Amino acid sequence: MARTSPASRQELRQAGTARQWLLLFAVPTSLVGVAFGWALARPEDHTSSSAVRAISLLLGSVVLGLAVLGWWSRTDSRSFARDPRLWQLTTLVAASWTLAEGVRLAMTASAVNAEPLLELSSGRFAQYVTETSAGRVGLAVLACTAAATVWSAIAFGRKDARSPVPVLALAALALVARPITGHMSQQTLGSILDVVHVLAAALWLGVLAALGLMLRSRGDWAKWLPKFSDLAVWCVVLLTVAGVINAVVKLGGVTPLFDTGYGRIVLVKSLLLAALLGLGWWWRRTWVGQAAAHRVTAEASLRRATLEVVAMAVVFGLAAVLATTA
């Protein structure tokens, strides 16, 4: 059997890393979803912060997914939580998430004060984040993302700090803070439904993205893809049930599905979600079983994971516009 030289193995690792960064295409496709949502919402107004909201939700989901992967493998002989690469990635993504949340908070304050973003004074911004409920929630979210970044950076440098639990808790809290106080909070069990919907979507995309970023071998995919597939089934069920109830409560009938921007976005989002469910069902019947039997290369698994994450990002973009559409 031919042996692979150290130099060749290094080249293979670098090539694998380059392919894994194709997951970054999820960012522009989420913006495609945002643009599509804006078009569907016409003539209703939309906010430019929807684009930042989509990117923020995407980054937050990946941070959550990396923390879940670290938690899953905590008792494994090859724990991802002990791998400095996981903490390096988490630090990078969490820092980007913090930046996005900071921009989003500033854009919201600018809109509330009816001032251009670049002309927003520090006094006006401080007044927004201290005297309005939305501002205080946004500031709390920013604090959570910043804390997750700091913890991840410390864990990258210190082995004794490599626990995914703080990042898991902070990421989940940051993702659900706004939905808890959104329009559905005025309905019975509305906040709970929103939390379930957001976390189910974040776990579905985030854990798959984490697998794409962290897994390097056929054996890794054989071990962790079936576990993700079982999680994804529950995410799909909870996401669908909570989403349907939310839409029914908000729309109150069938006609608004076609007559309102909100309804049109819900309709298209539902169709895209159905397509994703079909893809997931097919891959559960084929890819998951083949991967578990070591009959799929790591590169092929990464391509499929990337395709699904990039496609899901379009739905995330629509969801970001939906959250800001009257």
CATH of the domain at 61: 1.20.1630
> Residues 59-101: pLDDT tens digits?
999 999 999 999 999 888 778 989 999 999 999 999 999 999 9
* pLDDT value of residue 184: 52
Q: What torsion do the CA atoms of 49, 53, 59, 62 make, to the nearest 10 degrees?
A: -170
Residue 13 lies in a domain: no
* pLDDT value of residue 248: 83
pLDDT band, very low/low/confident/very high, at 173 (cuts 50, 70, 90): very high
> Residues 280-308: pLDDT tens digits?
999 999 999 999 999 999 999 999 999 99
Cis peptide before 6 (omega within 30 of 0): no
Q: What torsion do the CA atoms of 30, 325, 266, 204 make, to the nearest 10 degrees?
A: 40
> Based on the structure, what is the number of domains in the chain?
1
Residue 248 lies in a domain: yes
> Residues 237-251: pLDDT tens digits?
999 998 888 888 888
pLDDT band, very low/low/confident/very high, at 187 (cuts 50, 70, 90): low
What average pLDDT does the structure give for the chain?
Answer: 87
Residue 160's domain comprises 24-40+47-322
What's this model's pTM, rounded to 2 decimal places? 0.90
Residue 1 lies in a domain: no
**Separation of alpha carbons 47 and 191, rounded Å:** 23
Residue 3 lies in a domain: no
**Separation of alpha carbons 209 and 313, rounded Å:** 11
Are the beta carbons of 167 and 63 closer than 8 angstroms?
yes
Cα dihedral sign, 244-247-253-255: negative
Residue 81 lies in a domain: yes
pLDDT band, very low/low/confident/very high, at 58 (cuts 50, 70, 90): very high
**Separation of alpha carbons 54 and 294, rounded Å:** 35
